[in-house]
Structure 1
Amino acid sequence: MENLKVIDLFCGAGGASTGLIRAGYDVVGAVDAYQEALDTYRKNLCEGDLTNEFPGSVTFDKPLRADLSQGYDDSGKGENLPEITFEDIRENFELEEGEVDVICGCPPCQNFSSLRDTEPWPDGKPKDGLLRAFVDFIREEVPDVVLFENVSNILNAGEEVPSTYVDWFIRQMKNITRPSDSPQEGGYGYTFKVVNAADYGVPQRRRRTIGIFIYGAEDEEVTIPAPTHARDPEEDSDREPWVEVQDRIFREDLKTDLDLGQKQTGIDGYPDDPAHRSRRHHDSTIEMIEAIREHGGSWKDLRGTNDKDLIKECHQDLSSGARSAYGIMAKDEPAPTLTTRCANVSSGRFTHPTENRAITFREAALLMGFPRDYKLPSVNEHAERVVGNAVPPLLIKKAAEHARSDLQQVKKKEITEAA
């Protein structure tokens, strides 16, 4: 089978596209609204030589910046960007109708993030308009495969599993049919599952929902790839141990003992890497981190000790929650879930395993699974955001490889039945 052609919607800084080209797909178009993420995508995947390392390719000069909401009022469009249809996407990337084999999409569904409260919503109506827009794009092209990645809570938000939200998505996909096919021949077979990225070789415990849809398939013909890693693999298992933090960020080409505010440029013995830079911290924060190392791994371990007064005022009377704030990242485990504040010690267990500083943006990118030389924004907040919002490339690589294998089996069955 030739390389499948894929459009990456809500592409961000290129996490999914990196996984797709590693899996031998040709990315023929990518769209997002966030300018800094698109600049990162362009520098690495359109202009850099990164794609030369992998069997797939990126075939365009720059991704498209546009509003992907298709006009749904509850989508939160943000800036005044042009609303587009899939026909606009084809025109921008000079594609013919039916030329796209795969649509990959990670529409932001923040209402179902574990960091936000989930409110009830009417039956049959998805809460996030961007999912409705995503389905409209699929309906316009009807590709062979749809790859979907999102927060874990969308699968079980609400009282039923699958949730009203996901149930709506499945019903829409079941009813999409090409004009040349009967309803019995059309529709998408599917599988949905919440997976832990650490079980697929990503050095991060990141629970995400993966959905794979194949046109004309039966549901049982569409499967999720089996995990390749485990916390403690059994002796007779072919699974490998989880990849640990120290496996990715303790490297000879990264200076570990950076001074606060220092970046790795002009340092003897190390290649220039402006993304490997340390944030500055207040003296009181450093003092608290040192005490946390002495008593445990969390600010809560300071309670009842001589260092209890170092606990931040906002946490002094806190009885639950925020346990991971100022936490020390374990070096011999996968990292915790990286967020859009993943280089800020107050926002999670993002303190370096051995140094009294937050992890750097380069270290965060490595823990997400980006290649070592992936260029990142120079502004701290943008660097955190593009990494924290990314899809782990290795997770998408394995899902894409598996989807291609399932598609091949479906195509073989169709040929056999037609003979």
Structure 2
Amino acid sequence: MKIKPLKRKKQKNLRRWLTVVDLFCGCGGVTEGLKHHNFRVVAAVDKDKDACKTYKANHPGVHLYPEDIRRVDPKDILRNDLKNEDLDVLVVCAPCQPFSSQNRSNKIDERADLIFEATRFAKVLRPAVIFFENVPGLATDKYKILLEELRDDLEELGYQLSSPIVTGSLRGYRTPASTK
């Protein structure tokens, strides 16, 4: 299947805020940062009830989909929130528990597959950029196949997964465990 390149609507020297959809938005930290830098977040998705309460309180102007991302139809976001406008940035902060260094299990965490929801949304929303939270554990041998599959899926849609991916700990960063 051949995907056509993205075509953006041409604008006559008009300045506009870049549009964003925030997947796995949590309580809204990324949304908050983006809004402070003139991004317009039009929709967000998360299923955690407590996080959604916080998100709604802090971002009442953003349409929040408080449900499992697998049940959200990206066509609804395209139609209702983007109103068929171009999407500039798709933010993906997939659950980091599977990729966390604190997760010492050798088993593959089933939540790791949620990262592929980005591909499903990108197929419909066709963002100019997909911004993934850089969780170092994603680049470990344990999830190497998952990362390769994600890279292939994105390339099939015309995107490139940039490198380098941060794979080590932050030098000089002190965790509570390291301060004892």
Q: Match for 1:65: what amino acid?
A: P
Structure 2 distance, partners of 1:97, 1:15, is 26
Residue 133 of structure 2 aligns to a residue whose secondary structure is: strand
Structure 1 distance, partners of 2:65, 2:167, is 30
Match of 1:155 among 139, 154, 160: 139
Match of 2:104 among 109, 114, 117: 117
Larger Rg: 1
Give 1:236-247 correspondences, 5 Å limit: none
Report deviation, 1:173: 0.5
1:103 is matched with which residue?
Answer: 90
1:137 is matched with which residue?
Answer: 121
Matched, 1:37 2:18: no
1:336 is matched with which residue?
Answer: 175
Give 1:367-386 correspondences, 5 Å limit: none
**How many pairs does the alignment contain?**
164
The structure with the greater share of residues assigned to helix is 2
Report deviation, 1:22: 2.1
Q: Match for 1:87: what amino acid?
A: K
Structure 2 distance, partners of 1:105, 1:134, is 7
Deviations 1:46-71 (A, max 9, x none): 2xxxxxxxxxxxx43x5220111x2x
Aligned CA-pair RMSD: 2.9
Structure 2 distance, partners of 1:111, 1:2, is 37
2:23 is matched with which residue?
Answer: 9
Report deviation, 1:97: 3.1
Deviations 1:53-93 (A, max 9, x none): xxxxxx43x5220111x2xxxxxxxxxxxx111012334x4
Report deviation, 1:98: 4.6
Q: Match for 2:46: what amino acid?
A: D
Indicate if the aligned counterparts of 2:22 and 2:44 stay in contact, CA closer than 8 A.
Answer: yes
1:64 is matched with which residue?
Answer: 65
Q: Match for 1:107: what amino acid?
A: A
Normalised TM-score (structure 2): 0.76
Match of 2:166 among 185, 194, 211: 194
Structure 2 distance, partners of 1:43, 1:335, is 31
Structure 1 distance, partners of 2:21, 2:135, is 21
Indicate if the aligned counterparts of 2:47 and 2:66 stay in contact, CA closer than 8 A.
Answer: yes
Structure 2 distance, partners of 1:128, 1:23, is 30
Check 1:120–1:31 CA distance in 2 against 1; reply closer, same or farther (3 A cut).
closer
Specify which structure has the bigger relative contact order, considering alpha-carbon pairs within 8 angstroms and separated by 6 or more residues: 2
Structure 1: stretches of 5+ with no match in the other structure:
47-58, 71-82, 177-186, 197-205, 208-229, 232-333, 338-347, 352-419
Structure 1 distance, partners of 2:162, 2:75, is 28
Structure 2 distance, partners of 1:127, 1:35, is 17
Check 1:90–1:350 CA distance in 2 against 1; reply closer, same or farther (3 A cut).
farther
Deviations 1:232-258 (A, max 9, x none): xxxxxxxxxxxxxxxxxxxxxxxxxxx
Matched, 1:20 2:38: no
Structure 2: stretches of 5+ with no match in the other structure:
1-14
Q: Match for 1:24: what amino acid?
A: N
Q: Match for 1:164: what amino acid?
A: I
Q: Match for 2:91: what amino acid?
A: C
Q: Match for 1:89: what amino acid?
A: I
Indicate if the aligned counterparts of 2:49 and 2:66 stay in contact, CA closer than 8 A.
Answer: yes
Indicate if the aligned counterparts of 2:48 and 2:66 stay in contact, CA closer than 8 A.
Answer: yes
Q: Match for 2:24: what amino acid?
A: F
Residue 89 of structure 1 aligns to a residue whose secondary structure is: helix
Check 1:195–1:13 CA distance in 2 against 1; reply closer, same or farther (3 A cut).
farther
Report deviation, 1:110: 2.3
Give 1:200-211 correspondences, 5 Å limit: none
Deviations 1:202-238 (A, max 9, x none): xxxx75xxxxxxxxxxxxxxxxxxxxxx96xxxxxxx
Indicate if the aligned counterparts of 1:98 and 1:141 stay in contact, CA closer than 8 A.
Answer: no
1:170 is matched with which residue?
Answer: 151
Report deviation, 1:142: 1.3
Q: Match for 1:194: what amino acid?
A: V
Matched, 1:86 2:74: yes
Indicate if the aligned counterparts of 1:98 and 1:143 stay in contact, CA closer than 8 A.
Answer: no
Indicate if the aligned counterparts of 1:32 and 1:67 stay in contact, CA closer than 8 A.
Answer: yes
